[in-house]
Structure 1
Amino acid sequence: MAFLPRSDRGQAFPIYIMMVAGLLFLALAFFAVGKASALRNGSQGAADAAALAAAQKARDDFGTGFYASLHANMLDLFLDLDFAAPCYEADRLAAANDARRQSCYPSGGYLRDLITVEVEGLKSVDSSVLPGSENKKAKAKATALIEFRCPNPKAVDANSDGIIELFIFTCRNGKILKIAPAGPPPWGSVSRTLFDVRLVDQ
C-alpha cells in the first residue's frame, strides 16, 4: 500500500474548503436567481389581475352611458368617447397580490378600450450574493382589452315616427340581443355579451 508523504497530506484540505465554498456560492446564486424569477412571476400575476379587475369594473360602469346613447340614438358617438379607468380596482388587486400599482392609464374609446397597469412587487430579492439586491424589486406590466363585440345593431322604428323602439345586436359570439331603449334589461345580464374583456400583449 502506498502512503502519501506527510508533507502532502495537508495540501488537499484547502482545496476541499475552496470547492465547498464555491459550491455553496453557486447554490446561493441559484437560489437568488430562482427567488428573483418567482418574484417576477408574482408581479406579472399581480399586473394581470390588476389590469383585468380595472377593465371589468370599467365594463360594469358602462351601463348608464350605453343605455342613454341608445335612447338618444347616439350609440356610435358613445363608442367613440374616451373613458376614465377605475384604477382603484387595480390598486386593490395589486395589493392583494403583494404588489403596488405604479401606473394605470386607459387608451382608446368604448369601441375598443385598453387599460394598462404597471406594478412593482413589495418584496425585494435581498440576496447576499447579488450586490444591491436588497432594494431590487420585480416590476411588471399588463394590458387588458375591453372590446365591443356587437357592432352595427339594427334599429327598429316600427311606427316610422323617428323613435327607435328596439335595437337588435348580432354579436361575434353568435348571440343576439334585443334591447328596448325605453325598458333596457339589467346591465349585468347583457354587459358580458356586449363587451369582451381579456388580456392582450402590448
Structure 2
Amino acid sequence: MVAGLLFLAFAYLAVGQAAANRNGAQTAADAAALAAALDTRDKLADEWVENVLDPTKWRDIFDGNGVPFDGCGRADQLAAQNNATAACGIADELYPGYTVEVETNKAVGDSIVPGTENIHAKASATAVIEPLCTFPPLGEGAGDDVLPELTCKDDEKWKLDPEDLVDLPEPQDLFDVHLVD
C-alpha cells in the first residue's frame, strides 16, 4: 500500500512538473507576442505624430500601414528572458499584430513517466494592435487650417490645433494592444 501511495505521489509530481513547464511556455508566448505588438504600436504612434499635419495619411496609419512590422526581434528577446525560443510572424487577424510560438529551453525532466526527460513545453499566443480612435472623413469639418477631431477610447475627444501641437495623444490613447487567443 505504501508503494502504491509513493507511486501516486511521484505521478502527481510529474504532472505538476509538466504543468509548471507548460505554464512557463504560455507566459513566454504571451510576453513575447505582447512585446512585439507594443514595439510596433509605438512605431505606429510615432508615425502618426510625424504625420499629424497630413490627415490623408491617418487612415493608413490607424489601419496598421506605414511602418514595417519588425517587432519579432523584441519577441525573441522576451522569449529568451523567459528561457524559451520563439518563432514569430505576422498575425492573420482582424487587426494587425503578431503570432508567437515558443518552446521552452528546459525539458520537463526525469520523472517516473518514461520519455519526459527530452520533452519541451510548447505554447503560442497572438497579440493585436487595435486602433482606438476614429475621425471624420476628410472634407467633413476639416480645412487646410483645421485638423479632424479624434474620438478615442471612452469617447475622449482630441481637438488638434495645427498651430499648437503640444498635447497629443499617447500611444496607449491611440492603440490598444491585447492578446486574442
Give the structure-1-normalised TM-score. Answer: 0.74
Identify which of 67, 71, 74 aligns with 1:86: 71
Contact 1:43/1:138, CA 8 A, preserved across alignment: yes
Deviations 1:90-114 (A, max 9, x none): 112112222221x1112369x9222
Q: Which deviates more from structure 2 when the two are superposed, residues 57-66 or residues 176-185?
A: 176-185
Identify which of 134, 144, 153 aligns with 2:127: 144
Output the CA distance in 2 between the equivalents of 1:181 and 1:147. 26
Please name the residue that 1:27 is paired with: 9
Deviations 1:139-160 (A, max 9, x none): 1111112100112347654xx5
Query: The residue matched to 2:171 in structure 1 has which SS?
Result: helix
| Identity across the alignment (%) | 43
**Structure having greater relative contact order (Cα 8 Å, sep ≥ 6):** 2
Deviation of 1:183 (Å): 6.1
The letter of the residue matching 2:8 is: L
Query: The residue matched to 1:167 in structure 2 has which SS?
Result: coil
User: Gapped runs of 5+ residues in structure 2?
Assistant: none
Deviation of 1:61 (Å): 1.1
Query: Number of matched residues?
Result: 176
Deviation of 1:118 (Å): 0.9
Please name the residue that 1:54 is paired with: 36
Q: Is the aligned partner of 1:191 residue 2:171?
A: yes
Bigger proportion of residues as strand: 1
Please name the residue that 1:74 is paired with: 57
Please name the residue that 2:25 is paired with: 43
Give the structure-2-normalised TM-score. Answer: 0.82
Deviations 1:29-53 (A, max 9, x none): 1111110001111111111111111
Output the CA distance in 2 between the equivalents of 1:191 and 1:150. 11
Larger radius of gyration: 1
